[in-house]
Structure 1
Amino acid sequence: MLIRDAFPSDQPAWRKLWDGYVAFYKADVPEEVTAKTWERLIRKQDGLFCRVAETSGEVCGFTLSVLHAGTWTTAPICYLEDLFVAPEHRGRGIGEALIRDLVSLGKTNGWSRLYWHTQADNATARSVYDRFAKADDFVRYRLFL
C-alpha cells in the first residue's frame, strides 16, 4: 500500500470514492462544490489537502484535511474532515494507515494536534478511531448560514 498526495490524474478515482462517501452520509453536495473542492485539494488552497491510499495501482481511499491556525497553540492544527475507504477494500487496515500517515506528517511538520469527528453510531469507523484516541466530551453545534 502506498499513501501519497493526490495527483490531478487521480480525479476520476477520487470522484468515485467521493460519491460513495457522500452517499454514505446521505448528503447532497452540489456539483460546483465538488469541482471546487477537488481544485482546492489539488492546489492545496485554503489549507486543504488530500492524501490517497493506493493498492495495486488503484486509489482505494482518501483523507481530506484542513491545516489551520489555533488560538491555544502557535503550531498548525490539522482537522481530518473526511476519510473514506472503498467498501470492497475495507477490513485491510487502510483507514488506520491513512490516519497513521497524517500522524506521521504532523510529527514531521510540527503540527500541534490532529482531530476529527464522526457520527456517534458509526461503530465500524469508531473501532478504528479508538485505537488512536478516545472520544472527548465535546458536543458539536452547526449553524448553517
Structure 2
Amino acid sequence: MRRNPGQEEREGWNLPDVVVRKAQAVDLVPLGGLMREYITDFYGCPEPPEERLEELMRLLLDGKQGIQWVAEEDGLLSGFATLYFTYSTLRARPAVILNDLYVVEKSRGTGAAAALFEACTAYARENGYAAMSWETAPDNERAQRFYAKMGGTRGDWLSYSIEL
C-alpha cells in the first residue's frame, strides 16, 4: 500500500476516504461501540460486561500482549483489527494472531478492510514476527474471498475451543 509523506510518524495508512492508525485512548468509546456491534450483531454472541470490554481495550493500548488498529472515515471509526502476540513452536519464533477484522456494513468494499489488513501485516513484518494467522466462520464466504485476495491460504488445521 502506498505511504504518504510523514506517514511513519502517524503510523497510519491512507486511502482517499479511509485512515488506518493504531487505536488511541480517545477511541475507547467509539471503538467499544464497534466491538459490541461485532460481538452481538455480527456474531450473535452475548454482550460482555462494559468493564471487561474496556479492560481489554486498555490492555491492547498498552501494546504488550496485542494491539488494535482502527479505520476512520470522515472523522468516525468504521472498523478495527486486533492482533494478539504469541509464539509458534513450529517456527521457533514469535507470531501474531489476527483475532478480529471488522468493518461496518456501509464501509465494506471501500478498501477499509484491506487497509486494516495491510496495517496488521506491515506491523508484523516490521516487528519480526514469523507469521500472522487468523480464522473465520465456515459460512463467512465474503471473508474467505477477501482473505484469499489478500494472499492468505486456507490451512489444513481444524480449530477447536472450549468455554471455561
TM-score (norm 1): 0.91
SS for the counterpart of 1:139 is coil
Percent identity of paired positions between Structure 1 and Structure 2: 27
| Number of residues of Structure 1 aligned to a counterpart in Structure 2 | 144
User: Which letter maps to 1:11?
Assistant: L
Q: Does 1:41 align with 2:55?
A: no
CA displacement, residues 76-119 of structure 1 (integer Å, 9 cap, x when unaligned): 20100111101121111211211111111122111100010010
* Separation in structure 2 between the aligned mates of residue 10 and residue 31 of structure 1, nearest angstrom: 15
Structure 1 gaps, min length 5: none
* Separation in structure 2 between the aligned mates of residue 134 and residue 73 of structure 1, nearest angstrom: 17
* Separation in structure 2 between the aligned mates of residue 17 and residue 124 of structure 1, nearest angstrom: 19
SS for the counterpart of 1:95 is helix
Comparing 91-100 with 66-75, which one deviates more in the overlay? 66-75
Q: Does 1:144 align with 2:143?
A: no
* Separation in structure 1 between the aligned mates of residue 56 and residue 71 of structure 2, nearest angstrom: 19
Aligned match of 1:4: 21
**Contact 2:28-2:54 within 8 A present in 1 as well:** no
Say what the alpha-carbon RMSD is for the aligned residues.
Answer: 1.4
Aligned match of 1:97: 115
User: Which letter maps to 1:42?
Assistant: L
Q: Does 1:67 align with 2:99?
A: no
Q: Does 1:30 align with 2:46?
A: no
| 1:9 shift after superposition | 0.5
TM-score (norm 2): 0.82
Comparing 36-45 with 111-120, which one deviates more in the overlay? 36-45
SS for the counterpart of 1:37 is helix
Q: In the alignment, which of 19, 23, 43 is matched to residue 36 of structure 2?
A: 19
* Separation in structure 2 between the aligned mates of residue 78 and residue 122 of structure 1, nearest angstrom: 22
* Separation in structure 2 between the aligned mates of residue 136 and residue 44 of structure 1, nearest angstrom: 28
| 1:12 shift after superposition | 1.6
Aligned match of 2:4: none
Q: In the alignment, which of 134, 142, 156 is matched to residue 116 of structure 1?
A: 134
Structure 2 gaps, min length 5: 1-17
